[in-house]
Each structure stands twice: as C-alpha cells, then as structure tokens.
A and B are shown apart, each in its own frame.
Chain A
C-alpha cells in the first residue's frame, strides 16, 4: 500500500529526511515513532502529496506521489498534526464540505455514517468553535475517513487528549486498522506498542529500526538481565564479589536497593544465583528478569547511534 524508496527531503541546507525506505502492507497499522523534529511530519506530508520529495520515490496505493499527486490524494485520508478545522462551520457542515471536495457519492448518508463511527453524530449541529479538543480530534478523524480511503495517515492523533480520549482514539485506530492501511505517528512509546503491527523508529531523518514491537524488544534483549534484592544484612561489596563469581555472569551493578545482573549468554542463571545467595546465608527477597520496555529500546536507538553522532549538527 505504501512503498517508500530512498526518500530524501532537504529544506535549504538542512536535511530533514535522508534515504528513508519502508513499506506498508494492506491492513497493516504502522507506527511512526521518533522524537520531535525527527522527520515524521515531513514523511507524512510527502506521502499525502502536500510537498514533493527532494530525492527518491514514494508510492501510495500504487500511485507515485510526484507524478500522480491527485490520485494519491484521492486514496489517502490525512489528519495533520494541527487538526484543520473551520471554527465557524458546524460539525456536519464541515465534514460535508470535505466530502463534497472529495466528490464522495451519496455524501449526505456517508457523512452521517462517519459521524456515527467517530461518535460525533449527537453533536452534528454544534459549531466547531464550541466543541472540546477531544471532539475536534474526532471531527478531524471523520474528515480523514469520509471517503473511506485505502490509506490513512494520522499525524499524532492522540496529542493533547486526556487519558480517556486517548484510549478512545487508540481503539478507533485499531478498529480502522482492520480494514485500512494506517500510518500513524506518535512519540508516546506505549501507544505504538499497544496499537501497531510494526514500528518504525526514526531519528534525525533516518530510520534506525523497523520491526514488530515484540521483535524489537527481543532483539535488544539478548543476554538476559536480572534484578536481585537481598536482605540488608549482606555487605554490598561481598554480594557483588560473590555473584560475579557465578558462572555466565558478566556484570553485577548496584541498582536502587538491589543489583542488576547481566548474563553473558542466553543462559538461565536464576537457579544458580538463588542457590549461591542462600548458601552464603543471605535472605533472597527478590529475583526477577528485567524486561526492556520500548522506552529503553527507543532511548538506546536514538541517543548514541553511529549516524546520529556523525549527523550531530542536524536539528534535534
């Protein structure tokens, strides 16, 4: 549905995107993750036909964004970061206006349908200036959905919403993902983890990782890490010394009121650790694997990658 090849975008001397490649399959929810200014919005603007790339090509629904811009726009629903609304229009009037500009057949019925989907049908006659931020976001979504597009591109659809509204929008996106290809950007990692089939992590205009959230976590977690807490009677230095001696342990570091232990290989060292501690006469209070969250992965990938130090002059 979306094919992006060697996409590069320069603004004057500043390179916002460099050599970005990715694909999205039909019915896939693709999360676009990165710090502010990483190039998420730029990529989306290129894919929606708002601006042309400096180099490279992008195809959306089989159309080239440069040569068949109008066809691309016909097949894409787009919700920009600042929800584009006309405060002086009613909810229904606005969605109807967009439907007419998109030449949606039976526009009246379709507008009713889509307002029910996003849960704004009861407020259809309200002026947009008078509705809350969460509702505006939903009206923005209605606008993006009104022509039943094959590809939906949503730029930070949950930004500025309260937790309840955020959940609603996430559920909506997940529902939409069943029948549409969805590309949505966020800088909230747990959101990407919950909603997406695959995650693209982008930083300083370059893709640093593309994979399923689960796979990403697994990949960065070879060599398990464990957290161990022993009762206070044990001398920390002695504990570190003792545990470092256990086979396959590569490092022991104090962490909070316990220790983090890194195993050198994928070996399961839990039983050995436990028996070592007990036989030393200490009380074992806690022993658990440390799961790496997407948060850690994200920080690890976006702070000290070789590209980022080389391209350090770029906008953060």
Chain B
C-alpha cells in the first residue's frame, strides 16, 4: 500500500476517536438543519424549494470549521515530537502532507455527504433543479478541499493548534471576502485581481448557480496543489533548522 494511503487511513480514523471531530460535525449539521427547516417553513406553499440555500450556508460555515478540522494535523505532530519519527521513517515528506490532507478531506466529505438528507427531503417535497444541486456539491467539495489546504499550511508552521486555527480562520476570511475589495477600492485592475483569488467568487457566482466551469475547477485544484506543495516545503524546512 502506498505510504500516503497508510497515513490517510490513520488520520481519518483519528477523527473518529476524537470528540472535537464529532462536535464539529454536530454543530455544522445542527446549524444547517435549522437553516433548512426555517427555509422550508418560509417557502411553505408560496415558493418552490431550493436545495442550494442550505449549501450556500454550508460554504459559509466551512470558513469556520475547516480550520478546526485541520489545525491539529501538523501542529500536534510538531508539538508531540512525533514529526521526528515520521521524518525518520522511509516516507517522503510529501506523503505525510498528502496523506494528512486526504484524511481531512475525507472527513469533510463525510460531513458534506450527510447534508444529502436535506436534498432527499427537498426532492420528496417538490422536485427541484437537481442539476444545480449536483453542481453546488461539486463546487462545495472542491472549495472545501482548498479551505482544508489553507488550514494544513498554517498547521505546519506552528506547534500551537490554537494559533494554527486562528491563522487559518483569518486567512479563510480574507480569501472569502476578497471579492468585496471592489466595493471599497476605486481601482478596477486591483479589484479584478483580488476577485480572481477570492474563494467566494469562484463558488457563489458559479457552482452555486449550477455552473460547472473549467476555470473554477482549475482554480480550486490549483490552489490545493500549490498549498500542499508549500506545506511540504515548510515541513521539509524543519530539517534545515
């Protein structure tokens, strides 16, 4: 079995032995559940149902819980000294980072998959535009991966999980709100540039509307690849300190 799969399996299993992971899943599902229920109640009989409302909120919540999922990934190894063991095993540094990232992404995917219950209810009540919902899920999954990649980078640079969590959260807020730059700066070029790097603009104004565009997919996949590469370099830099 490839080394990163061994690490992936251990990381995914670790989520299910820690109470924090259950609490995160519980909180996310409780919040989205309330929003879903509220949305249905408001629309009752007046409007057709829309399965993507709850997903837009899920995207917003991801800002806050993605750093919670990833903060321990590298920071805990740094603090406990287990990183020294991992780095003296016949395993490439990239295997460590990729395995851990995939573990977090799989956990995120499980939480995301649970929201599928809302879609089942929506379909049962009145069939919505299923294509839009599928597009939103694809986008949410990719965007979540990018958010986790941001988190793992900050987890690698510190030994303190709380610091990793806060830095990840701050970075995510900046990346999410970057497209608002256009409303405060009087410079079109700068606004367009900022918007290019905004996670929100690549999700809310495309996948969430039912658009699966090649450039948005490339954006999120590229962000994930670039951040994992940087994280690997950060981990590697421990050898030179």
Whether A178 sits at the interface, judged by CB under 8 Å, is no
Select which of A48, A86, A89, A101 is within 8 A of B6 by beta carbon. Answer: A101
Select which of B17, B87, B89, B240 is within 8 A of A98 by beta carbon. Answer: B89
CB-based nearest B residue for A144 = B85
In the complex, how many residues of chain B place their beta carbon closer than 8 angstroms to a beta carbon of chain A?
A: 24
Whether B215 sits at the interface, judged by CB under 8 Å, is no
B88 touches A50 (CB 8 A): yes
B7 touches A48 (CB 8 A): no
- The dominant DSSP class at the B interface is helix
Q: In the complex, which residues 1-32 of chain B have their Cβ closer than 8 Å to any Cβ of chain A?
A: 1, 3, 6-7, 10, 14, 17-18
A80 touches B6 (CB 8 A): no
Complex CA gap A48/B240 in Å reads 14
Question: Which residues in B have their C-beta under 8 angstroms from that of A49?
Answer: 87-88
- Mark interface residues in A36-74 (1 if CB within 8 Å of B CB, else 0): 000000000100111110000000000000000011011
Question: Which residues in A have their C-beta under 8 angstroms from that of B92?
Answer: 70
Question: Which residues in A have their C-beta under 8 angstroms from that of B91?
Answer: 101
Question: Which residues in B have their C-beta under 8 angstroms from that of A45?
Answer: 84
Q: In the complex, which residues 49-71 of chain B have their Cβ closer than 8 Å to any Cβ of chain A?
A: none
Shortest beta-carbon distance, A203 to chain B, in Å? 24
Question: Which residues in B have their C-beta under 8 angstroms from that of A88?
Answer: 14, 17-18
Complex CA gap A74/B89 in Å reads 7
A51 touches B90 (CB 8 A): no
Shortest beta-carbon distance, A195 to chain B, in Å? 23
Question: Which residues in A have their C-beta under 8 angstroms from that of B6?
Answer: 97, 100-101
Whether A85 sits at the interface, judged by CB under 8 Å, is yes
Question: Which residues in B have their C-beta under 8 angstroms from that of A102?
Answer: 89-90
9 contacts between A and B (CB under 8 A): A51-B238, A52-B239, A70-B90, A78-B85, A80-B81, A80-B84, A84-B84, A86-B80, A101-B89
Question: What residues make up the interface of A, taking CB atoms closer than 8 Å to B?
Answer: 11, 45, 48-52, 70-71, 73-74, 76, 78, 80, 82, 84-86, 88-89, 97-98, 100-103, 143
Question: What residues make up the interface of B, taking CB atoms closer than 8 Å to A?
Answer: 1, 3, 6-7, 10, 14, 17-18, 80-82, 84-92, 238-241
Closest 8 CB pairs of A and B: A84-B85, A82-B81, A84-B82, A48-B88, A74-B90, A73-B90, A100-B6, A80-B84
